[in-house]
Amino acid sequence: MAKSPKISASHEPGGLIVHISGLLPSLSPAEQRVARLVVANPADAARRTITDLATAAETSEATVIRFCRSVGMDGYPQLRIRLAAEAARRIEPPDARVVGGDIPPGADLAQIIATIAFNDARAVEETAEQLDPAVCEQVVEAIVGAGRIEVYGAGASGFVASDFQQKLHRIGRIAFYFPDVHTALTSAALLGKGDVAVGISHTGTTSDVIEVLEQARARGAVTVALTNFPRSPITEIADYVLTTAARETTYRSGAMASRLAQLTVVDCLFVGVAARNRARARRALEVTAEAVRTRRVGGSRRRS
């Protein structure tokens, strides 16, 4: 049974492991057991036979095969090969630092800083690796040609949405962001063909954002979703899906890293759009920079 012919799905040239952990929540329980084994120790998994792995995951071979298909592989042998390659590439920096994990209770600030920065940087890098330039290109295209762009996001993703709106606005594109769902819904209802609606949700399950995006789609707008989970509800109503790659961690670090990853994606789209009309964008940026000049103080030496 073909899962979903989404435009985004296939591309995971960057990290297979990252890709799998992103998909993890959308897998069935038995498949999750397999996935966890694989993510925990790719090299080891690559060495095992399918029966072996199935036994280790306390399930049947059939489930392992299903898992392979779920993450986009043809079958088990292919997964094995990819895992081996992946494992070889990431000669884990044997850093004593807490890699994907939680911050230990007794940690001092230096450790906290190292851990957060590491996770943040990783999320950014891995997001970039798994971003599909083709999909980005199409989104950029849509934005460039859009009559109006609306960006939706709630909570932490709201900041990102707002940031994106402000950026687009600054280079002369007509863009909106509404902190309030009611307003957003009303506005979405006024969208039409040629407009673009962007929904941002880390989990992909924020009903407010989904509803607004649905509304926008119903009116004929192009819909774009930005989420960490490629199979989450929001992806079902989006024409284009862009994913971040923040590892799932406990406490807050997952969500925090995800926000940075989202911003990175936003930046990419922004620069992509700006690059479409360099001259105009640059002029707009200069004018806007000039506008706040009087709000700056101090030495002539410092850039404005």
Q: Map the footprint of DNA across residues 9-68, applying CB under 7 A.
A: 28-31, 49-51, 58-63, 65-66, 68
Q: Which of residues 104-143 bind a copy of itself (CB under 8 A)?
A: 105, 107-110, 112-114, 116-118, 120-122, 124-125, 127-129, 131, 133, 136-137, 140
- Of the candidate residues 41, 55, 60, 162, the single one contacting a copy of itself (CB under 8 A): 162
Q: Which residues share a beta bridge with 152?
A: 199
Q: Are 197 and 177 in contact (CB under 8 A)?
A: no
Output the smallest distance, CB 192 to a copy of itself, in A. Answer: 26
Output the smallest distance, CB 293 to DNA, in A. Answer: 16
In the three-class reduction of DSSP (H, G, I as helix; E, B as strand; rest coil), residue 79 is classed as helix
Output the smallest distance, CB 218 to DNA, in A. Answer: 20
Output the smallest distance, CB 210 to DNA, in A. Answer: 16
Q: Considering Cα of 8, then 257, then 206, then 146, what sign does the dihedral take?
A: negative
Output the smallest distance, CB 231 to DNA, in A. Answer: 11
Q: Which of residues 228-257 bind a copy of itself (CB under 8 A)?
A: 229, 232-233, 248, 251-253, 256
182-197: burial string, b at 16+ Cβ within 10 Å, e else: eebbebbeebeeebbb
Q: Which is nearer to DNA, 38 or 266 (CB)?
A: 38
For position 3 contacting DNA by CB under 7 A, the verdict is: yes
Size of interface with a copy of itself, in residues (CB under 8 A): 90
For position 298 contacting a copy of itself by CB under 8 A, the verdict is: yes
Binding mask 255-284 for a copy of itself (x = CB under 8 A): -x--xx--xx--xx-xxx-xx--x---x--
Got the DSSP string for 130-189? H--HHHHHHHHHHHHT-S-EEEEE-THHHHHHHHHHHHHHHTT--EEE-SSHHHHHHHHH
Output the smallest distance, CB 90 to a copy of itself, in A. Answer: 9
Q: Which is nearer to DNA, 3 or 89 (CB)?
A: 3
- Find the helix packing angle between 253-276 and 156-170, rounded to 10°: 10
Alpha-carbon distance 78 to 97, whole Å? 32
Q: Which of residues 164-223 bind a copy of itself (CB under 8 A)?
A: 166, 203-208, 210
Q: Are 34 and 57 in contact (CB under 8 A)?
A: yes
- C-alpha distance from residue 14 to each of 19, 82, 303 (Å): 8, 11, 37
63-80: burial string, b at 16+ Cβ within 10 Å, e else: bbbbbbebbbbeebeebb
Name the residues that contact DNA, by CB under 7 A: 1, 3, 28-31, 49-51, 58-63, 65-66, 68, 74-77, 80, 300
